[in-house]
Amino acid sequence: MAYDLIARVAALAAINAVRGSTIDLFTNLPQRTFDASVTTINSGGHSVAGTGAATYVTDSLATAALAAAHPNLCKRSLEGRYWRLLPTTGEISVDQAGALGDPTGTGLVNDQAAIQAAVNYACALSIRTVVFPQRNYALWVPTRTTTFWAWGTDGVGIYIPAALPAGDITLKGRGPLSRLAFYNKDGGAFQTSTQTIAADGNPWRGHGLYVDSPMTDPGRDYRNSITLENIWLDGGTTANGNTNWTNPVTDVLNGWDVSHKGICYRPDLYLGDLTLKNTRVTGFRGELVYSSNQRDSRLIFEGRVELGETNGQAINPAGGGVICNGYVAAWNCNLAIEGWMGMGNLRGEFHNILRGAAFAGGVIDTTGTGDGFTPQRQTDPRFAGRMSQFELDILVTSPQQQFAIGSFVRGRIVAVDTMVYISAHETLGSFKHGVIDTALDITTICDKANLPTALMLIGGSTAGLKQIRNCRFRLHLQRSRDAINAGYQITDAVTYSGSIGENVVIEQSSGPSKRGSGCSAALPDYYPCFRNNAFGTWSDYATTGQNVVTTPAIIPRGDRMVLTGGAANSVNTVTLPTTGIGDGHELTLYNGTGPSGNWYFAIDRSGGGARLPARRLVGGDDAITLKFDGSKSLWREVVAPKPISLFTSATLPALAANALSAVQTVTVYGAEVGMDVRMQATSPNTALEIVNPQVTAANTVSYRIREVAGAAYAGGSYAMNITVEHKRTWLS
């Protein structure tokens, strides 16, 4: 038995030795002849020994047509048979298609044709993975013949065709990263050079990776899905802050170059997912990632994904969903994110973003029958009618810029020197139909400069539009140590303007700012509802103030306002709004005339929008805090103002024993008839009693003095505290 087994193994080894053969280089295969029993060939390299070693097979797929279409990977030997590259565990490498790599990183060796040949071969034969075994590769973008604005497939670094038999493909680098550096068609650096398109005379750089799109929907399971793993796409440029892009001739070289995207999906057609895993995309003057806008296509981040240096956007998901299973770090971009994020999430950090961001949850309308700018719910049958809520957990540093967020977004933002911007103005493109169903926890940190506002709400320009609706925000304001040392601060916690709708709430917020909120051109539809907040001490009321002599009807500008305008020694009654106010809105009204101004504003006990225990007068440097009761549509008192008080002295007449003086008067500015009066001697005089103090006329308190010690009183100076206030009334 043992002898038979040994003999069989030896026989099989002999057969395999006959069927297989070796060759030094694949490029020498046309000069070689092989015995008919040989069915596989092992090469020592593609065109250079040691680079691109592979196995080739002759079978039914190895044909003249395959060799004509893929000469780098299929050739005819001298005896007439064709040999094609055989994948190993479902993978081929670009070196097996003739790529030599760029070990010095100088771009002198152009591997673009070899890399494209490997991709084309993989796409044609349903090979799922193309490997980049070396650290560096240089790709000189080929000549562009299609005109600038057409969606041509030429003049790009790597092209993925519209229909893949396998439905997906992975470009996989050597860990941690294989760098694919892109250059002009003559090897020039893109920072300073472009090619010129002969067809229209426009300049052209060319996208790093361009993914074509099927014109008709092949079905979700058959759309192209692309994965980049351990790949660095390097476009060779740095961001310079120039965001002009409409005129190729004047803008391409130094502006936002729409011909130079890192990853570009052809838009408005039918593509699948894009997955970036431990991938870096940097140095392109257009969008770094411009993915599919199909509602059920996804942009997926895994591991650490780095995006940097662009005059365009770091991410433009264009309407498909974004799913972040890893962490995204982006820097030096014009916009961090633009477009519709669909259902999903994003976690990461965005530094030195020139113009902030402009994105929303939900999906773009790709049906051609609706308005693509309308906030959308899901139409996929699996999620039909469901909200497309998108979740954030990000840090952003966008100095003095606006990080604009639209509908269907929730989560956490740490915004350093950055304004979170909720803009729903009807002329502002992507958010022109409003912002709804967004809830954010925002930590705003003032660090390197003064910050105008932490949260900006801009509604519609016409009353009744109510563009921002059903949104909640929680703010945590901070100043870094550097900001405190330099005197930098946040001016307004919140600013708002325009037509705002129901249920826009700023709650449980805290931290220091010069003002609580600022309001410009607010339209009286609804006011943001401020409740349960604890903002720090303010030093400026410029945009939260109101002259109540000229405008006695209060316009709620946040949760704390200063009222001014009255003449000394006078009282002005104000009224409060009862429409457009959210339930629980807390409002503190502060008299800004100072402690010695002798001007009071007043709120009636009932009517004028309030229901109070008594008519309230608020003197200089004092305040009243109110809360709106939505069930009754009126304001109730939370913290009462201090009573009107006066510390004074009077000269009293001489009195006989047990005698009662004539009526005495003292001026108490703000006192009104019907107020309760309390008078107390500051130095007790047991010989005298204050009798029947009362307000007998505006600003006048009357009283008498009785001698109670049973001995004559010679008269003299008498010091007293006087307080006056309206009596509390039982309220149902």
How does pLDDT run across 646-672, given as a tens digit for each residue?
999 888 899 999 999 999 999 999 999
Domain count, the chain: 5
Overall size of the chain counted in residues: 732
Task: Please check whether residues 592 and 687 belong to one and the same domain.
Answer: no
Q: What's the DSSP call for residue 342?
A: B
- The string of pLDDT tens digits covering residues 3-20 is 454 444 444 344 344 357
> In the chain, how long is the greatest CA-to-CA distance?
146
Q: Which residue has the tokens 């009693």?
A: 689
Name the token pair of 22. 């070796």
Domain termination site, one of 85, 120, 136: 85
Nearest one of 96, 95, 223, 100 to 161, comparing CA atoms: 223
Q: How far apart are CA 12 and CA 82, in angstroms?
A: 25
Q: How far apart are CA 148 and CA 80, in angstroms?
A: 44
Name the token pair of 82. 């064709």
Q: Is 583 exposed, middle or buried (0-12, 13-18, 19+ CB in 10 A)?
A: middle
Looking at residue 711, what is its pLDDT?
A: 92
pTM for the structure as a whole: 0.88
**Helix extents (H) in 593-712:** none
- 409-424 burial code (b ≥16 CB/10 A, e <16): bbbebbbbbbbbbbbb
**Strand ranges inside 354-482, DSSP E:** 357-360, 390-405, 409-423, 435-436, 439-446, 451-458, 468-469, 471-479
Task: Please check whether residues 484 and 557 belong to one and the same domain.
Answer: no
CB atoms inside a 10 Å sphere around CB 6: 10
Nearest one of 388, 359, 360, 229 to 296, comparing CA atoms: 388
Q: 688 pairs with which residues across the strands?
A: 707
Q: How far apart are CA 258 and CA 316, in angstroms?
A: 13
Task: Please check whether residues 493 and 533 belong to one and the same domain.
Answer: yes
Task: Please check whether residues 426 and 315 belong to one and the same domain.
Answer: no
Residue 11 lies in a domain: no
Residue 651 lies in a domain: yes
Name the token pair of 90. 């479902």
Looking at residue 1, what is its pLDDT?
A: 44
The helix or strand, by DSSP H or E, that contains position 233, with its residue range, turns out to be strand 231-234
Residue 703 lies in a domain: yes
Task: Please check whether residues 703 and 573 belong to one and the same domain.
Answer: no
- The string of pLDDT tens digits covering residues 424-455 is 765 555 566 788 899 999 999 999 999 999 99
Domain termination site, one of 540, 555, 576: 540
Which portions of the chain are predicted below pLDDT 70? 1-19, 166, 293, 295, 319, 363-385, 387, 425-432, 520-522, 524, 684, 729-732
Backbone angles phi, psi at 515, to 5 degrees: -140, 160
**Residue 665: which domain range?**
644-726
Name the token pair of 527. 């006011």
Q: Are the C-beta atoms of residues 709 and 684 closer than 8 Å to each other?
A: no
Task: Please check whether residues 479 and 533 belong to one and the same domain.
Answer: yes
Looking at residue 13, what is its pLDDT?
A: 41
| Bond preceding residue 452 cis, omega within 30 of 0 | no
Residue 694 lies in a domain: yes
Residue 634 lies in a domain: yes
Task: Please check whether residues 423 and 471 belong to one and the same domain.
Answer: yes
Q: How far apart are CA 281 and CA 270, in angstroms?
A: 24
Task: Please check whether residues 401 and 427 belong to one and the same domain.
Answer: yes
Looking at residue 549, what is its pLDDT?
A: 94
Residue 287 lies in a domain: yes
